[in-house]
Amino acid sequence: MSKQGKQDGGRPRKRQEGLVVQELPEEMLVYDTDRHKAHCLGPVAAAVWEACNGRRSAAQIAARVTAKLGQAVPVESVWLSLRRLGRARLLEAGTALPAGPRLGSRREWLKRAAALGGFSLSVLSITAPAAAQAATCTPQTTCSGLQNRLCTGAPCCTTGPNPAPPGTTCKKVGNQNNCSCAP
């Protein structure tokens, strides 16, 4: 744990930098632009994450989430959510998580999570289904095989066998002979 984390004294803070958030009525989607990973937060996990301002304890977060969702959310749910948010790196690095119950095995955690509300607590990783494509795009493999005068200028495919990072287009970069998928 970092020095900063110790100073936080178990009051987690949500990560702000390098994330793009899409709030939907049923869930919250978070894209980590540093790691190119996407996560889907269920209602409780989303509310817990929103409440992590670095000043609230687990009990205070639970009270806030209960008020927000209009249903009782026990502190245990907050612990579980924080654990998952931490694993997904959605909390600030070095944030100290509030001390929770010691649950040994993964199975024990899963059982506890299911008992506390299943999906609403979950932090799912979003994976691109094969060939789900937003628009006409150039596969990264095709792009990198083209001579630089033939670059398509089209967005690079973010799905498929060799996905390019989102927001890139197939273009000439510097003095390279071949095209690249670049921002």
Partner 1 sequence: MGRGAEARGRQVARVLRGAWRASPDAAELADLGEAAPLLLRGGSGGLAWWRARRLTGSDSILEPLHQAFRLHALQAALHEQKIPAAVTRLRERGIEPVLGKGWAVARLYPRPGLRPYGDVDLYVGPEAAAAARRALQAPPAPGAAVDLHGGFAELDDRPPAELFARSQVAALRDCAVRVFGPEDHLRLLALHFMRHGAWRPVWLCDLALLLEARPLEFDWGYFVAGDASRTEAAVVALRLAHELLGARVGGLPAPLEKRVLPGWLVPAVLRQWGQADFAPHGTRTPMAAELRRPWGLLRALRMRWPNPVEATVGRRARFDDRPRLPFQIRECLSRTLQFVRAPGDAAPGPERAAER
Nearer Cβ to partner 1, position 1 or 173?
173
Quick note: the x/- pattern for partner 1 over 88-117, rule CB under 8 A, is ------------------------------
Q: Does 159 bind partner 1 (CB under 8 A)?
A: yes
Contact 68, 52 (CB under 8 A): no
Minimum distance of partner 1 from residue 143's CB (angstroms): 10
Please report whether residue 77 would count as binding partner 1 according to CB under 8 A.
no
Decide whether 77 or 168 has the Cβ nearer to partner 1.
168
Q: Residues 146, 152: contact at Cβ < 8 Å?
A: yes
Task: Collect all residues with Cβ–Cβ distance below 8 Å to 159 and sequence separation of at least 6.
Answer: 128, 129, 130, 131, 132, 133
Pairing mode, strands 28-32 and 169-171: unpaired
> Is residue 163 involved in binding partner 1 (CB under 8 A)?
no
Q: Which is nearer to partner 1, 113 or 151 (CB)?
A: 151
42 near partner 1, judged by CB under 8 A: no
120 versus 169: smaller Cβ distance to partner 1: 169
CB of 19 to partner 1, least distance (A): 10
The letter for the amino acid at 17 is E
Residue count of the chain: 183
Site string for partner 1, 133-152 (x = CB under 8 A): xxxxxxx--x--xxx-xxxx
144-152: long-range pairs with CB below 8 Å, 24+: 144/178, 144/179, 144/180, 144/181, 145/178, 146/170, 146/178, 146/179, 147/177, 147/178, 147/179, 148/172, 148/176, 148/177, 148/178, 148/179, 150/179, 151/179, 152/179
Question: Which residues sit at the interface with partner 1, rule CB under 8 A?
Answer: 20-22, 24, 27, 29, 31, 38, 40, 126-139, 142, 145-147, 149-155, 157-159, 166-169, 183
